[in-house]
Structure 1
C-alpha cells in the first residue's frame, strides 16, 4: 500500500507532461542553456518575470535570514519561492520560448494574449540520516540512528482571464518511509490534497495600471520579509499554507498587504486537510524604499496571533500575542544587510506577554576573487522567560518561521536563544555553490529552556544554570544541474554544551541530507 502511495505524486506530474507531449528526458535537459545568476542579465525566459499583480512583500534574492540553505537547494535562480508570483505572459511571443517545457508555461485561451493557463510542478525526493536526534531523546535504533526517505510532489495551474481576474490552484502529495516512531505530524505525510486554491480580483489605476488593489481569498502560501515570522517552510517535506483573506495594495513606492488567516493542518489522507481551529494569524505588512541608506528598504508590520492551546516551559494556556516589527535591508553590492527587530506583547493564561527579538546580518561579496567568496555574519537574540513561577511570559514566539531556521538539521528553534553565526559561500562557476557555517548558541535567559522549531519545549530551564547550549557547524553544497534540476547535500554536526550536559541526554548530533529538486 505504501509503494502505491509513494508513486501517486509522480504519476500526477507524469500525466500532466505526457498529456501535452512534452515528457522531459535527459536529452532535453542537455539542450537547456546554463542557469543565469541573479547578478547577470537573464535570457528572456530564463526566469519568470515579476508578477503583474501587487506581490506579497518578500525577501530579496539570496536572502540572509532563516532558511537560506533550503533556498540555495531549491531552483530559485529560475523559479520563485512563491510559485504564484511567477509571470509567463512574455511567452505569448513564440520567439521567447527557449525551453521544451515552455509550452506548459503559456497555453493561450482564445484570441486575447492576457487569457492563458500556466502549469508547473515540483518533485523532491530527499534522504535523511540522523544520529542522536534531539540529542538522544527522540526515537532511534540501537546505534542511535533514525534514517528516512521523504518525497514531495506538487502540481499547480495558474489561470489568467484578462488583467483583472485570476485563479491559482496547487495540489500536494508528501510521503515518508523508514522513520522510527512514524512520520512527523504536519510536515511529512499528506497523500493528496489541495495545498493552494485562491482567486485574485484586481482593480488597476494610474499610468499603464502601475497601481493596483488585489483581493485574494482562499487557501494560499504566505511569506514575509526574510521568513523569520511567516514563511512557507521550504526546508520541511510539506510546505505550509493558510486559509486566508488578503488585500494587497501597490501604490507608488508602497506595497501593503493586509490579511486574516488560519494555518492549514496537513493530514495524512486524501482531501482531509483543514484549518487549525485553535490558531489564527492576522496583520498588516508594508514595504517602502528607505532613501537614507544605500539601496535601502524598510518593512513595517503588525502581526496578531492567537493559540488557544499554547505550551511553553512555564506551562500551558491560551495565548493572544501582538508583534510590532521593522526590517531594514538592502544590497548595495558588494555589501548586503538585513536587520530586523520585533517587540511582542499580549496575554498568556492569566499573565502578560513582553518579549522581543533582534536579528542582524551583514555580508560582503568578493566577486573579483577566485570562487567569488561571500562572507557574512548573523547575530540573533530572542528573549526567554524570566520567571517560570510568575504568570507573566517573556519567551519570544517566532510564529510560523522558516523550515530550516539555523541549518537543515533544525535541532533547536529561535526561542530563548543567542546565536552567533558566521557564514562563507564559495561559487564554482555558475552551477555549484558551497556554504560553510557555524552556529554558536547560548540561552538568553537562564530561567527558560530551549525549544524545537515547532515551539515545543525540549529541555527545561532548570536545574542547569549554564548558559552555553552548544555549537553546530554545517557544510552544504548545491548543484544547479539544469534549469529544472538542483541537487543538494548537507552535513550538520551539533557539539553539545554545558547546559545540555546538565540536562541529559546530551549526545552530539550528526545529520546528513541529500535531495534532488526538479521544478518546471
Structure 2
C-alpha cells in the first residue's frame, strides 16, 4: 500500500516534459495538449487518440482544491467571527473531431462552517459547471470563426466586468451563445449570455431569468505583447436594487483597455463608461482601473514593483433623479486582493505592492491598499455589489487601510500551495458610521490541477 501511495505521489509531483506542458488555465477549455501525443504514464490522458489517424481525440483534466478562510471582526465587528472550509472537485473532458468539439466539466463544491449559511459562491453540490459544443470554421485567410453554445466560464480582458469568480469556491458560469472571430491580429467576441443561478443542492443550478449580458468585445494585438481592447456590453437586471429602491436596470458599458509589456515595464489601464436607466432615472457612472509595474529579473529575488490605482463612481445624492453608482456586473472574485472585503463601487484606492521570487517556484507578495469613498453621498459595497455600510450622515471619505502578505509555492506542474495574511484598519468613515474594529484575515489553499 505504501508503495502504491509513493507511486501516485511521484506521478502527481513529476513535471511533464517541457514540450508537453502548456499552461493549465482556469477555464481549461483553451489548453492545447496536442504536443502531449505519445506521452507515457498518466500524462497520456492529456491526449487520447480515439481513431487511428488522431483526427478524433480527447483530453482529460482534473482540479482538486481545498481552501480555508478565517476572519476576526468581519464587517469591522458588525458580524461575528467567521471561519470556513471550501472544497471543490472539477474533472473535465474535451473531445475534438475535426471542426467539431464538445467540452464537459462537472463540479462538486461544498462549504463547511460559513457564518449565516452557505451562499452561491460557497456551495453548489454536484452540478454542471461547463458543458458546450462548438463548430470551428477556418477562414480562407488565416483565421477562424468559432460558434459555441451551452454553458461555459467567460472571462473578458482583466475580468473587471466579466470574470470567472475563480477565487471563491464556486465559479460563475453563463448559459448562451458566443461567436468568436479571429483574423490575424484581431479577435472579436459576440455574445448573448445569461448567468447561471447557483443552487445549494445537487443538479439545481438554473439559467437566470432576470439577468442578461450581451455585446461585443474586440482585441487588437498592436505589436508583440502589446494590445488594445474595445467593447460594448449590454446588461439587464429585472430585480436590481439601489439605495433601497427596486426596479429594472438596463446598463450599457463602453470600454477601452490598453495593456502590454516592454522589457521590464508592464501596464494594464482600462476606462469604463456606463449609461442606461434604472427605475425611470438615467444612469451616469464610470470607472478607471490601472496597473503599472516594473520588474528586475536580473536582480536577486527578481523584484517586481507594482502600483494599482482605481476609481469607481458612486451616487452623489439619493433622490436627485440620476444613478451614478458604478456596476461591475460579474467581476472576478478576489478583486482587490485575496481577502479584501471591499468591491469596485464608489471607491478610490491606491494599491502599491512588491512581488519577490525567493526560491524556485516560491513567490511572496506584499501589498498595501488605502480606500476612500468616491462620493460622500454613497456607501461602501462588497465584491458582489451588496452595500455593506450605508453613507449615513458622515461626510468622511477615508474608509480604511489594508496590508496583505501572500505566499505561493508551485511544487510541480500540477500541485501548488498558497497562504495569505491580511489586516484591515478602519478609517474615519467607518468610525463615524458604526462598527470599526480591525479585521484580521487568513487564507490557506492547496490545489491539484492535472
Range class of TM-score, shorter chain: over 0.9
Offset of residue 29 of structure 1: 3.9
Pair 1:147-2:83 in alignment: yes
The answer to whether the Cα contact below 8 Å between 1:438 and 1:474 also exists between their aligned partners in 2 is: yes
Residues 1:197 and 1:311: Cα distance change in structure 2 (over 3 Å): same
The CA deviation string for residues 364-400 of structure 1, in whole angstroms up to 9 with x for no partner, is: 0111110000001011000000111223100000010
* 1:250-399 map, 5 Å: 250-290=182-222, 295-313=225-243, 315-399=245-329
Structure with larger RCO (C-alpha < 8 A, sep 6+): 1
Contact 1:311 / 1:457 at 8 angstroms: preserved in 2? no
> Which of 39, 46, 49 is equivalent to 2:21?
46
1:315 deviates by: 2.7
**Counterpart for residue 17 of structure 1:** none
Does the CA contact (< 8 Å) of 1:441 and 1:471 recur in 2? Answer: yes
1:247 aligns with 2:153: no
- The answer as to 2:68 corresponding to 1:127 is yes
* Pairwise CA distance, 1:187: 0.6
Note the C-alpha offset of 1:479. Answer: 0.3
Equivalent residue for 1:186, pick from 120, 126, 145: 120
Other-structure match for 1:456: 386
Question: Is the counterpart of residue 206 in structure 1 residue 167 in structure 2?
Answer: no
TM, length-normalised to structure 1? 0.83
Corresponding residue for 2:432? Answer: 502
Which of 462, 465, 470 lines up with 2:400 in the alignment? 470
- Map 1:154-165; keep pairs closer than 5 Å: 154-162=90-98, 164-165=99-100
Greater shift in the superposed pair: 437-446 or 422-431: 422-431
Task: Please list every run of 5 or more consecutive structure 2 residues that lacks an aligned counterpart in the other structure.
Answer: none
SS in 1 for 2:430: helix
TM-score by length of 2: 0.96
Q: Which residue of 2 aligns with 1:221?
A: 153
Q: CA deviation at 1:30?
A: 4.8
Aligned CA RMSD, in angstroms, stands at: 1.7
Tell me, yes or no, if the aligned pair for 1:349 and 1:391 is still in contact at 8 Å. no
Distance verdict in 2 for CA 1:137–1:287, change over 3 Å: same
2:43 to 75, 92, 102: 102
Q: Distance in 2 between matches of 1:229 and 1:137?
A: 29
Match of 1:177 in 2: 112
Residue aligned with 1:102, SS: helix
State the match for 1:419 in structure 2: 349
Contact 1:314 1:389 in 2 (8 A): no
Give the structure with the larger strand fraction. 2
